[in-house]
Chains A and B, each alone.
Chain A
Amino acid sequence: KQEVTQIPAALSVPEGENLVLNCSFTDSAIYNLQWFRQDPGKGLTSLLLIQSSQREQTSGRLNASLDKSSGRSTLYIAASQPGDSATYLCAVRARTNAGKSTFGDGTTLTVKP
C-alpha cells in the first residue's frame, strides 16, 4: 500500500527566503508525482507534474525534483513571497491502480512580510 509523507507539517519563513518542501513515498513503482497548492477552503491548484522517467520540472520560481529509487521528491521555492502562503500537497500515482492518487497530508507554508 502506497504511503506518502510530507515533512515538515508546517513551515514559517520571512519573505525572500528560498525554501524546500519534502515528500516521501513508500512504493517506487510510480507513474508520476504531482505537486499542488491549496488555499484555505479552496480546491487544489496544480503546480508541477513529474513523470517517473524525469528527474525534475521547473515553472517560474518553482522547481520539483524526483528521486524514484529513494522514494523522495522536493519542491524548491525561490525568493518566497507572502502570496506563496498556502498548503502544499504532493500526490503519487502508482503503476498499479494508476487511476488513484495517494496524497500526503501537506505542508502549510506561511511567508511573513
Chain B
Amino acid sequence: KAGVTQTPRYLIKTRGQQVTLSCSPISGHRSVSWYQQTPGQGLQFLFEYFSETQRNKGNFPGRFSGRQFSNSRSEMNVSTLELGDSALYLCASSWGQGGSDTQYFGPGTRLTVL
C-alpha cells in the first residue's frame, strides 16, 4: 500500500505570494490533518478534514485554509505569505474520525519564504 504523498516536496516563494500544497492520503483513509513544523514552535496543528468537512482547526490566521475532495485528497493554501510561514508542512492520514486510529505522516513540503 502506498504511503501518504505530498507535493511539491520543496517550494520557494516570496513575501506576499500565495501557495497551495497537496496531500494524498493512504488509500481508504478518510481523515487528513495538517501540521506546521518550525524549529521554534515545534509541530503545530493546522486543521483536520474528514469526508470533505473541516472538523477541527488550530490557532492559525485566516490566511491558512484548506479543503478536502471527494477522493479524500486534501490541499492547503496560504495566502499573502510572510517570512514566518517558512516551515515544513506535514500532512497525516488516518482511517476514521475521532482520534482512535494511527496517524501516518507524509514526507512533508518544505516551504521557504524569501
Interface of A is mostly: strand
Q: Do A31 and B108 touch across chains, with their CB atoms under 8 A apart?
A: no
**A: which residues have CB within 8 A of B?**
31-32, 34, 36, 41-46, 49, 51, 89, 91, 93, 95, 97-106
Q: Do A99 and B42 touch across chains, with their CB atoms under 8 A apart?
A: no
**Is B50 engaged at the interface, CB distance under 8 Å to the other chain?**
yes
Sample of 9 A–B contacts (CB below 8 Å):
A32-B100, A43-B4, A43-B105, A44-B90, A91-B43, A95-B99, A99-B98, A100-B56, A101-B43
Pick from B33, B55, B100, B106: contact of A43, CB under 8 Å:
B106
Question: Quick one: which of B42, B50, B88, B97 has the most chain A CB within 10 A?
Answer: B42
Size class of the B contact interface (CB-based, 8 Å): 20 to 34
Interchain CA distance A95-B92 in the complex, whole Å: 19
B residues in contact with A44, CB < 8 Å: 90, 92, 105
Q: Do A106 and B33 touch across chains, with their CB atoms under 8 A apart?
A: no
Task: List the A residue with the shortest CB-CB distance to B100.
Answer: A31
Interchain CA distance A41-B4 in the complex, whole Å: 16
Given the contacts A43-B90, A46-B105, A102 and B100 also touching, CB distance less than 8 Å: no
Task: List the B residue with the shortest CB-CB distance to A44.
Answer: B105
Given the contacts A89-B43, A105-B42, A99 and B31 also touching, CB distance less than 8 Å: yes
Q: How far is the CB of B43 from chain A (nearest CB, A)?
A: 4
Pick from B35, B88, B102: contact of A49, CB under 8 Å:
B102
Interchain CA distance A31-B103 in the complex, whole Å: 13
Kindly supply a per-residue 1/0 record for chain B positions 42-69, scoring 1 wherever the CB is within 8 Å of any chain A CB and 0 otherwise. Answer: 1101001010000110100000000000
Q: Do A100 and B33 touch across chains, with their CB atoms under 8 A apart?
A: yes
8 nearest CB pairs, A to B: A98-B99, A99-B48, A99-B56, A44-B105, A103-B43, A93-B99, A31-B99, A43-B107
Q: Do A42 and B108 touch across chains, with their CB atoms under 8 A apart?
A: yes
Task: List the A residue with the shortest CB-CB distance to B97.
Answer: A99
